[in-house]
Amino acid sequence: MTETAIFDEMWGQDGQLRQPYQAFNDWFGAENPKDLRAKQQEAEELFRLTGITFNVYGRSEAEERLIPFDIIPRIISGREWQKLSKGIEQRVRAINAFLYDIYHGQEIVKAGRIPEEMISKNEAFLPQMIGVKPPGGIYTHIVGIDLVRTGPDEFYVLEDNGRTPSGVSYMLENRETMLQMFPELFSQNRVQPVETYPTDLLKSLSACAPACAEGKPTVAVMTPGIFNSAYFEHSFLADQMGVELVEGHDMMVVDGRLCMRTTQGYKPIDVIYRRIDDDFLDPLNFNPDSALGVPGIMDVYRAGNLTIANAPGTGICDDKAIYSYMPDIVEFYTGEKALLENVPTWRCADPDSLAYVLDNLQDLVVKEVHGSGGYGMLIGPTASRKELAEFRKKLEARPANYIAQPTLSLSTVPIFSKAGLTPRHVDLRPFVLCSPRGVQITPGGLTRVALKKGSLVVNSSQGGGTKDTWVLED
pLDDT of residue 419: 86
Share of the chain above pLDDT 70, in %: 94
Task: Report yes or no on 74 lying in a domain.
Answer: yes
Are 44 and 168 in the same domain?
Answer: yes
Mean pLDDT calculated for residue range 321-343: 96
Last residue of some domain: 407, 429, 460? 407
At residue 61, does pLDDT exceed 50? Answer: no
In a domain, 434, yes or no: yes
* Domain match, 1 and 25 both: yes
Same domain as 170, residue 182: yes
In a domain, 438, yes or no: yes
What pLDDT shows up at residue 57? 46
Q: What domain range is 383 assigned to?
A: 344-407
pLDDT at 375: 65
- In this structure, the answer to whether residues 350 and 472 fall within a common structural domain is no
**Is 6 domain-assigned?**
yes
Would you place residue 1 in the very low, low, confident or very high pLDDT band (cuts 50, 70, 90)?
A: very low
Count CB neighbours of 381 within 10 A: 11
Residue finishing a domain among 366, 382, 407:
407
Give domain status of residue 222, yes or no. Answer: no
pLDDT of residue 67: 83
* Greater model confidence, 228 or 458: 228
Beta pairing, strands 341-342 & 154-161: parallel
User: Looking at the structure, do residues 21 and 100 belong to the same domain, yes or no?
Assistant: yes
Rounded to whole angstroms, the Cα distance separating 15 from 31 reads: 21
Q: What integer pLDDT is reported at residue 53 of this predicted model?
A: 59
105 and 175 part of one domain: yes
**Do residues 68 and 84 both lie within one domain?**
yes
**Torsion over CA: 341, 160, 457, 398 (sign):** negative
Strands (DSSP E) contained in 192-256 are 219-222, 244-246, 251-254
**14: pLDDT confidence band, cut at 50, 70 and 90?**
confident
The verdict on 384 and 461 lying in the same domain is no
| Span 179-195, pLDDT tens digits | 999 999 999 999 999 99
Where among 407, 436, 454 does a domain terminate?
407
For residue 60, what pLDDT is reported? 44
- How many structural domains comprise the chain? 2
- Of 162, 384, 138, give the one whose Cα is nearest residue 278: 162
Domain-located, residue 63: yes
One domain, residues 20 and 80: yes
Q: What is the mean pLDDT of the chain?
A: 92
Q: Check residues 298 and 455 and name the one with the higher pLDDT.
A: 298
In terms of Cα–Cα distance, which of 291, 429, 407, 313 is closest to 360?
Answer: 407
430 within some domain: yes
β partners of residue 279 = none
pLDDT at 2 over 50: no
Same domain (yes/no): 16, 82: yes
Model confidence at 466: pLDDT above 70: yes
